[in-house]
Amino acid sequence: MKMETKAVHAGDRKRNPDAPGAFVPSSTPIYTATTYLYEETAKLDRVLGREEEGFSYGRYDNPTRAGLEELLRELESGANAQVCSSGMAAIHLALLAALTDRRKSILVASALYGSTVTLLQQVFEPMGVEVNFVDFCDLAAVEKKIAESKPGCLVMETISNPLLRVADLDRIAELARAAGAALLVDNTFASPLLVRPIEHGAHLVVESLTKFLAGHGDVLGGVVVTDEAHADVVRTLSRTLGPVLGPFESFLTMRGIKTFVLRVERQCANACRIASWLQSHPRVARVHYLADPNHPDAAVIHRLLPEGLYGALVPFEIKDAKKEDVFRFMDKLKLIVRGTSLADVHSLMLYPAIASHREIAPKQRQRMGIGDGLVRLCAGIEAADDIIADLDQALA
């Protein structure tokens, strides 16, 4: 099935063989129970022992959550999906799974979400895990660093936050496998509509459900999608640690995903128009956008992404702007929401220096290319003309 059809149908209309009657709900209901019973204790024993499919306890599984996990597994082309209470919980779970029975060393892309960097430096390093950074867009440097550090896990983003760099996912997957390392990819900026990293050789994929998938700014959640080799360890760790998504959030995410393809296609089209307009604005020093033929990763982008779908993110640099200039610009926005997220139905503007990369030291931010004048726009589904008009008056 195509992505549009999977988004609407996967995970729904499950018959409960133990329930009386023959009805099947057209959409997955919200199951709030924490405990599930069976006529025979022997069956409960088999379910608890994972010898038979079923539900026993909310930390282990839940019918609403299971429907969402089936849907996400289908969208990401994985063997298993485990949903979590946040995107960061998903990244934490995936890192633990990746390092199980592997050397406790992680090689990380130098362009990465700030909170992921904080997790690695303030949680994993104090636990004795070696963390090294390298430019994943420089394959020779990646290969050299793998030989030097012998990592158990490589971590990257499909499209980097916030400057939209796109590394050669296929080649990095080959390097990881040759080194016996797991490749963990954060696919939040791309979503499975643009890229499905497991199809390119990744072992584990994480996404923030909060963003494009749920898409309406009312759900906090994350997911880890795995290949077959990592399915059991992620499932076991999730059962033990319990970073699970609640049934209400699972229901809302499934509901949001039904329109996910329509929303993202519209957001991509809006972003393309906005990026083109911004490039000619006298107050804009530089626009970062994946459709730019002069993008440093243009060849990889052309190969990995579908034609015409270049994402909803449009970071741009306001000419000669300091923090106070950016604050004035953002305070003048009337339609675009000033918020610390992305991929809602409404357009969102974020200032990386005080939000996504706030915990990164200023000098490190500068090395990452995140200057004081950089802002990050995520296009919503509004009329593109209205978004552009709001930017125009705020930049005036």
For this structure, is 303 an active site residue? no
Q: Is the peptide bond before 162 cis (omega within 30 degrees of 0)?
A: yes
For this structure, is 310 an active site residue? no
β-partners of residue 284 are 318
Q: Of 14, 46, 59, 273, which one is the catalytic site residue?
A: 59
DSSP H helical segments within the chain, as ranges?
3-9, 41-48, 63-76, 87-99, 114-119, 139-149, 169-178, 191-194, 228-241, 247-257, 260-278, 298-304, 323-331, 362-367, 384-395
β-pairing, 284-287 vs 313-318, is antiparallel
For this structure, is 186 an active site residue? yes
Separation CA 183–CA 105 (nearest Å): 12
Q: Of 61, 168, 186, 344, which one is the catalytic site residue?
A: 186
Q: Of 6, 65, 145, 211, which one is the catalytic site residue?
A: 211
Q: Of 60, 113, 289, 310, which one is the catalytic site residue?
A: 113
Separation CA 329–CA 312 (nearest Å): 21
For this structure, is 15 an active site residue? no
Amino acid identity, position 243: P
Token readout for 393 is 């008056």
Token readout for 225 is 């999608």
β-pairing, 182-186 vs 204-208, is parallel
Separation CA 110–CA 112 (nearest Å): 6
3-state SS class at 384: helix
- Distance, C-alpha 55 to centroid of its chain: 28
Separation CA 276–CA 292 (nearest Å): 9
Q: Catalytic positions, please?
A: 59, 113, 186, 211
